[in-house]
Amino acid sequence: MTGTVKTTKEPLFHVVKHAERTGRQMIGFRLLAVALSIVAGGLFILAIGHNPIAVYGTILEGAFRSKIAIQSTVKFAIPLCICALGVTLAFKMKFWNIGGEGQLIMGAVFASYFALNFPNWNHWVLILVMLVAGAVGGGLWGLLAAAFKVKWGTNETLLTLMLNYIALHLVSYLQAGPWRDPEANGFSKIARFDKNAGLDKVLGVHFGWIIMLVLVALVWIYLKRSKQGYEISVVGESQDTARYAGIHVKKVVRRTMFLSGAIAGIAGVCQAAGSDMTLSMGVAGGVGFTAIIVAWLCQLNPGMILVVSLLFSILEKGSSVVQSTYGLSSDCADVLQGIILFFILGSEFFVRYAFVGRGKKGGAK
């Protein structure tokens, strides 16, 4: 009796980890990705019947055409940058914190309690208390996910994601219940904050931009120059190695997630008391999810997070002007942003991996 040997056909291409690229090559890949994203976006604009050069010009003009436009661009960058700094701490130790949105919301909720109930306090005392309360609120929301992770080994990605929606519905409960504005004529909304509870403006923008710059510096120093930052890196590389080195892994996870959530909570304070002057369902507006993209795009580098957050803000502000100028729907603007992000994020794949043809060998050297 003769048997047959089954052979599996080798795929035409397979993916291998690329040898470490030089800094110049990595910059080249990313610049090429930006160029290709602009071309691809231009083809999309052309396909819907508009001049790509004119539309791109409108995006830039929309972000910088006036003093107010520049201020709006910076204002959008503040919560995005701060929230991206927050998730960076968690990602650095490979704790997949997808809950920046919820942590931002809880920071806004905690701060709003003092803004609504103690509007007559000394202005700077009230602002300081609101910032601390926001940090505590966001930190506790992050710590909750860390506690479940270290105690029961829960999946932090799913848990932090679900906590986002719990935080959002908490705001819905507050604006329809205990914090409902009695002068809202039956609408479910929370009253606007007293002017005393608002963040003061510096150069036309609330001073959240100063907080943002300070946090960029502090997070960089914390990650690069502190013992706790070193512990985060070791835990991220290998928890077994961290334990062998005498690092209390559970303590590091809890501490880092509290700090991660606290920073996102400060973003919530800036949004509620700086931009909105109230607490609403739109206080986060998807910033927490965009912050994840920004953090990964910047390779968890605080300085680059600042730059890319500003670029995202230019794109966001400019896209809104394009909508009104050319009569495009918000979906078209979102598609354009998605195309650009697709190419830029895709470049990160080719920085680390390569396609190898059938019959060839490849891999990291």
Same domain? 224 vs 362: no
> For residue 142, what are the CA distances in angstroms to 88, 128, 189?
13, 21, 27
Domain span at residue 99 reads 77-327
Tell me whether residue 85 is in a domain: yes
Helix residue ranges per DSSP H, the chain:
23-47, 52-64, 67-92, 100-117, 123-152, 156-176, 208-225, 227-237, 239-244, 249-270, 287-297, 302-326, 330-352
Tell me, what amino acid is at 193? F
Same domain? 97 vs 141: yes
Tell me, what amino acid is at 256? T
Domain count, the chain: 2
Tell me, what amino acid is at 280? S
* Residue 284 DSSP class: S
Tens of pLDDT along the chain (365 residues)? 455 555 566 666 667 776 666 767 777 777 888 888 889 988 988 998 888 899 888 888 888 888 888 999 999 999 999 999 999 999 999 999 999 999 999 999 999 999 999 999 999 999 999 999 999 999 999 999 999 999 999 999 999 999 999 999 999 999 998 999 988 887 889 999 999 999 999 999 999 999 999 999 999 999 999 999 999 999 999 999 999 999 999 999 999 999 999 999 999 999 999 999 999 999 998 999 999 989 988 889 999 999 999 988 988 888 888 888 887 776 777 787 788 778 877 777 777 776 676 666 555 44
Same domain? 312 vs 333: no
Tell me whether residue 27 is in a domain: yes
Tell me whether residue 14 is in a domain: no
Same domain? 320 vs 339: no
